[in-house]
Amino acid sequence: MQTVRIALGERGYDIHIGAALLGQPQLIAGVLPHPRAAIVSNATVAPLYLEPLREALHAARVDVVPVVLPDGEAHKNWNTLQLVFDALLANRCDRQTTVIALGGGVVGDIAGFAAATYQRGIPFIQIPTTLLAQVDSSVGGKTGINHPLGKNMIGAFHQPLVVIADIDTLRTLPDRELRAGIAEVIKHGAIRDAALFGWLEDNMAALLARDPVALAHVVRRSVEIKSDVVARDERETGSRALLNFGHTFGHAIETAMGYGEWLHGEAVAAGMVMAGDLSCRLGKLDSEGRDRLRALVQRAGLPVSLPPGLEPDRIRALMNVDKKAKAGRIRLILLESLGSSTIVADTPEDALQATLTAAAPR
Amino acid sequence: MQTVRIALGERGYDIHIGAALLGQPQLIAGVLPHPRAAIVSNATVAPLYLEPLREALHAARVDVVPVVLPDGEAHKNWNTLQLVFDALLANRCDRQTTVIALGGGVVGDIAGFAAATYQRGIPFIQIPTTLLAQVDSSVGGKTGINHPLGKNMIGAFHQPLVVIADIDTLRTLPDRELRAGIAEVIKHGAIRDAALFGWLEDNMAALLARDPVALAHVVRRSVEIKSDVVARDERETGSRALLNFGHTFGHAIETAMGYGEWLHGEAVAAGMVMAGDLSCRLGKLDSEGRDRLRALVQRAGLPVSLPPGLEPDRIRALMNVDKKAKAGRIRLILLESLGSSTIVADTPEDALQATLTAAAPR
């Protein structure tokens, strides 16, 4: 087991990474303020991991309330959140009860937001069971739900007590979701770590084959990179925005298609290729860097262009409502080289249009 | 104008108290991060104060989005909160937009929770227009909505940039709401300030007649007392619970009757009399103190017993789901004397039953 400490002062916490961690209930029981927890999971993950975890916690004398939600981004809304509140209240959970999210990013976001707002905030633990959640969404304290007019528009910052990334849970992950998680790993390399980017170019086959050493490596490096960025800017007022590389394009794609058509990581993958293209058009990134980024995304089996039938103008319009927009202006994250990124507040409209046009599927 | 500074480090802020403050837009414009604000009000308050405030802000070059909600505790729910999110998104409000709550406690709680969770948190200003909101709910950063199974069960701590308590807005307040606000002033005296309690015994008539000097005095003293308690315990892990004097009984009454039958301050008033009675039964408060508390509540025109038809057993059962319950035990705030209070974790059941029985209307 490897442990990465997230340095956020009194809100700091550990991320444990390794195999067979779900069989070590003391990792959870040891940090609970009171031996009572609500495990929030979904209909896909619960049959695989909820009952063993519950038994392990029960053996550690922790009282467990299970809450099973419907699966999918389409359910990341108020109605599903309400199911968590209903269960917490029906079971008379008080402020000493800890919410444990067992699942992917959607479960983590909903359960985390429930924990952030139930009785104005109760403790929270993340057990991410997808690569995307292990390398990205379980780190940084962002929680929330979608609004019909925009993704993640309602939410809160709420840091967990501990994050437990059990590599074994990735064995049951569908291939498509594995690749979607790799998109965020590529992102971490692209914005901050040329060595990780190069490692991915050399080891993509092992990663796609779920080699445990490769998986543990990308989870640990991703967590280190993301947590370093988050520690410098917990509330996303400045440099944390670098983590949104590819996301302004990606969110627009997801909104245009309707949540759930493409996975988040797939939309981000196409968004990163577009952001790389735009970086090149603006003279920030050389064409070799642009091409290497596109090639790596493609080797991971991820999309490199807009989905068929989506007009560039529609994507352009949707980029305006993104949270990253500041006082009406679009802020984009662009690359200066593979491993180095920057925030650009005023993107020239003609270059943006050219990138969107070039991103149409061929 | 008097100003009380709330000492919460980087989240510290000013509370301005005085007459004609709504005509001084620089009090607001001077603290906005960006000259754009959404004013959230309700159908009762908006016709009185929204348009003048909007014009004053417009003159100070602040762009204003008005959001008018239905009035009443019955609307303190997700559907009403959603109206705020819808308006913010429809008007493309970004993270630089400030939410201004113009109204009583319900408006402040909903607007504050919207600000706490819109795009994971945007700036917030309180302009309380009821005595209850000026002396209590606008101080301390609590925001939230009700759940069908419990009051204020969903919410967040979110501190405002500034609070503007314009005494002039109390002229239009219905008598019943004025008295409900006085209940919380009595509470502040009872738990923390014997001098304020004595002042209220001497000046209740002037207060009920809305003498401006009397109003300004109780607002300032209440804000000072409450903010002092909050500064010691922002997230309510300990001594802040003293502010809940009368509230465990009061919330049970409100839940049993259905929100909106009694005003919050009315339920708290009866709850304080019950808590005083219980304090006396447990030998903590002398009978003179108990009787003075009951007499002052009565002189303010507030209820001193349970509403007709409510069984003591029903109230007792509802006290268990209160947020103040810690790991199944009821914690109550009791008085040691007028002006001094304490948290009691294990209340003897027989004394509690005797208090509930004695509180039935005669």
CATH for the B2-171 domain, from 3.40.50.1970, 3.20.20.140, 3.40.309.10, 3.20.20.150? 3.40.50.1970
Q: Which of A81, A85, A118, A120 to mutate against chain B (most B CBs within 10 Å)?
A: A120
Give the whole-angstrom CA distance, residue A249 versus residue A256.
11
Cα–Cα distance, B153 to A89 (Å, whole number): 9
Q: Is the pLDDT of residue A327 over 70?
A: no
Judge contact between A331 and A343, C-beta under 8 A.
yes
Residue B85: pLDDT above 80?
yes
Could you give the dihedral angle defined by the CA atoms of residues A315, A317, A319 and A323, in that order, rounded to the nearest 10 degrees?
Answer: -140
For A15, A235, A254, the CA distances from A140, given in Å and listed in that order, are 11, 9, 22
Model pTM? 0.88
User: Quick check: B235 and A121 CB within 8 A?
Assistant: yes
**Cα–Cα distance for residue pair B192/B207, rounded to 1 Å:** 20
Q: Decide: A361 and A253 in contact? Cβ < 8 Å.
A: no
User: Mean pLDDT over residues A158-178, rounded?
Assistant: 96
Supply the pLDDT for residue A8. Answer: 81
**Predicted pLDDT of residue A322:** 56
Residue A66's beta-bridge partner residues? A39
- What average pLDDT does range B183-199 have in this prediction? 98
**Would you call A100 helix, strand, or coil by DSSP?**
strand
- Count the residues in chain B: 362
pLDDT of residue B272: 98
- B4 DSSP β-pair partners: B15
pLDDT of residue B361: 85
pLDDT at B204: 98
Put simply, whether A89 touches B (Cβ < 8 Å) is: yes
Task: Give A-chain residues touching B244 at CB under 8 angstroms.
Answer: none
Helix (H, G, I), strand (E, B) or coil at B262: coil
Query: Please, which pLDDT band fits residue B323 given cuts at 50, 70 and 90?
Result: low
Mean pLDDT score of chain A: 93
A residues 296..335 contacting B (CB < 8 A): 320-321, 323, 325-328
- Among residues B294, B289, B291, the alpha carbon closest in space to that of B338 is found at B289
Give the residue among A355, A174, A154, A166 at the shortest CA–CA distance from A273.
Answer: A355
What letters, b where the CB count within 10 A reaches 16 and e where it falls short, cover A269-281? bbbbbbbbbbbbb
Over 70: is that where the pLDDT of A117 sits?
yes
pLDDT beyond 90 at A295: yes
- b (16+ CB within 10 A) / e for B229-253: bbbeebebeeebbbbbbbbbbbbbb
Residue to substitute from B77, B83, B117, interface A, most A β-carbons within 10 A: B117
Q: Do B156 and A156 touch (CB under 8 A)?
A: yes
When pLDDT is cut at 50, 70 and 90, the band that residue A325 belongs to is low
Residue-wise pLDDT for A238-291, tens only, equals 788 999 999 999 989 988 987 668 998 999 999 999 999 999 999 999 999 999
List CB contacts of A331: < 8 A, sequence separation 6 or more: A241, A248, A324, A325, A343, A344, A345
B322 pLDDT band, cuts 50/70/90, is low
Separation of alpha carbons A89 and A104, rounded Å: 24
Task: Please tell us whether the domain made up of A2-172 is placed in CATH 3.40.50.1970.
Answer: yes
Most confident by average pLDDT, A256-265, B56-65, B249-258: B56-65
Q: Is the dihedral of CA B36, B40, B43, B49 positive or negative?
A: negative
**Alpha carbon A283 to its chain's center:** 30
The pLDDT assigned to B324 comes to: 54
Task: Report the residue from B82, B323, B328 with minimal CB separation from A119.
Answer: B323
Closest CA in chain B for residue A330: B94
Nearest to A326 among B96, B149, B323 (CB): B96
Distance from CA of B184 to the nearest CA of A (A): 21
> Which is the catalytic residue, given B54, B73, B177, B244?
B244
Q: Sketch the domain layout of chain B as residue ranges.
A: 2-171, 175-358
Residue B74 sits at the chain A interface (C-beta within 8 Å)? no
Q: Mean pLDDT across the stretch A297-305? A: 98
Binary contact (B95, A323; C-beta < 8 A): yes
Counted across chains A and B, CB pairs separated by less than 8 A come out at 98
CA B348, B351, B353 angle in degrees (round to 5)?
Answer: 105
User: Best interface-test mutation with B: which of A117, A158, A234, A321 has the largest number of B CBs within 10 A?
Assistant: A117
The predicted pLDDT at position B149 comes to 85
- Assign B238 a pLDDT band (cuts: 50, 70, 90): confident
Burial of B357 (0-12, 13-18, 19+ CB in 10 A): exposed
Could you tell me the pLDDT band of residue B259, with boundaries at 50, 70 and 90? low
> Is residue A324 a contact partner of residue A248, using CB atoms and an 8 Å limit?
yes
Is the model more confident about A306 or about B9?
Answer: A306
CATH number for B175-358: choose from 2.130.10.10, 1.10.10.10, 1.20.1090.10, 3.30.565.10: 1.20.1090.10
B75 is catalytic: no
- CA-to-CA distance for B285 and B283, rounded, in angstroms? 6
Give the residue-averaged pLDDT of A111-135: 97
Is residue B144 less than 8 Å (CB to CB) from chain A? Answer: yes
Location of structure tokens 């009399």: B273
Quote the tokens at residue A128. 């991410």
Give the residue from B151, B119, B115 showing the smallest Cα distance to B37.
B115
B253, two tokens: 């009454």
* pLDDT tens profile A51-108: 999 999 999 999 999 999 999 888 999 999 999 999 999 999 999 999 999 999 999 9
Classify residue A172 by its DSSP letter: G
Residue count of chain A, please give it.
Answer: 362
pLDDT range class, residue A329, cuts 50, 70, 90: low
Contact A106, A79 (CB under 8 A): no
Tell whether A92 lies on the interface with B, counting CB pairs under 8 A: yes
Question: Would you place residue B261 in the very low, low, confident or very high pLDDT band (cuts 50, 70, 90)?
Answer: confident
Higher pLDDT, A334 or B347: A334
Predicted local confidence at residue A94, as pLDDT = 93
Question: What does A306-332 look like in DSSP terms, one character per residue?
Answer: PPTT--HHHHHHHGGGSTT-BTTBPPE
Kindly provide the ipTM of the predicted complex, given to two decimals.
0.86
**Which pLDDT band, with edges at 50, 70 and 90, does B297 fall under?**
very high
Cβ-defined contact of B117 to A154 (cutoff 8 Å)? yes
**Residue B7's pLDDT is what?**
83
Chain-centroid distance, C-alpha B298: 20
Instruction: Read off the amino acid at residue B62.
Output: V
Answer yes or no: B226 catalytic: yes
pLDDT in tens, B1-38: 999 998 888 888 999 999 999 999 999 999 999 999 99
- Residues B104-130 have a mean pLDDT of 97
> What are A109's two structure tokens?
């976001």
